[in-house]
Chain A
């Protein structure tokens, strides 16, 4: 029984991480928009890149959540009795 839970856990971890990779699409759009804005207004590049970094961190948090869920499933699974 515990063996089955471990197998399912590994698949769940892989699924969580691969869904977290969708955040890369959002990051790509954000960087593209920032590049566009910098190309139009090079003088505001400082403010833009600062906001871009903060925004990227926000987007990346979703991927990091998925990673943490995967680690919880792998290493701190409440259904696997040690």
Chain B
């Protein structure tokens, strides 16, 4: 209980790069997702088996969410949004494996995810409106709003990072405290609650990424129709 949740202890070094345990978990999740997608999409058929049906339900649900939230065709966004959702969900649930801390409970993983979303907002904004068109959206109501809009870009990404980090880290923290106070079976309700929090946080991270990208690409002045900024 004495070690800080804000710093990670490296396991070993590859050259100058320190590798800690949650980096290994991250790469394990990535390998798992890659192998699953590869083996299922190898043999696609019109009469789907179990794996393909699971994948189709997942992709269909994500498509529906994108269509509802962004009011756009899901084609260009499916890969990014879907991967973010599945990765964050698996990362949050990886605490089920004994001895594994969820990688999202370290601020580095969340910062990397937030940076991906930050770059994706700019990328999709420029691709839809062109460079000058995207830059013009910063002066949208009047030019006085330019500093506020610039600050908003940073703060909403920061709050995206801190939200995921705070929720997951506090779950791990509470389980650690309860485990050091009481015995074997007491932390189980907290772990169940942690599963629920993990699901909701993965959903919220994805929805907010969709809302931010949707606000960057939406035509005209309807960028705040989903009511979510900050």
Residues of A within 8 A of B (CB): 47, 50-51, 53-55, 57-58, 60-61, 64-65, 67-68, 71-72, 75-76
Contact = CB atoms under 8 A, between A and B. Distances in A.
B216 interface: no
A37 B165 CA distance: 32
B87 interface: no
B207 A60 contact: no
Pairs of residues from A and B, 8 with the lowest C-beta to C-beta distance, nearest first = A64-B166, A75-B4, A57-B204, A61-B159, A61-B163, A54-B228, A67-B166, A76-B6
A61 B230 contact: yes
Interface in B170-214: 170, 200-201, 203-204, 207-208, 211
A50 B211 CA distance: 12
A53 B5 contact: no
**Which of A57, A61, A67 has the most chain B CB atoms closer than 10 A to its own CB?**
A57
5 contacts: A58-B228, A58-B230, A61-B163, A64-B166, A65-B162
Q: Is the interface of B mostly helix, strand, loop or mixed?
A: helix
Given A53-B207, A54-B207, A72-B6, 13 more contacts: A50-B69, A50-B207, A54-B228, A55-B227, A57-B163, A57-B201, A57-B208, A61-B163, A61-B230, A64-B167, A68-B166, A75-B4, A76-B4
B68 interface: yes
A27 B5 CA distance: 27
B70 to A, nearest CB: 12
Contact of B200 (A53, A65, A71): A53
Contacts of A67: 166, 170
Given A53-B200, A57-B208, A75 B5 contact: yes
Given A64-B166, A67-B166, A75 B6 contact: yes
A68 B167 CA distance: 10
A67 B68 CA distance: 33
Contacts of B4: 71, 75-76
A42 B68 CA distance: 18
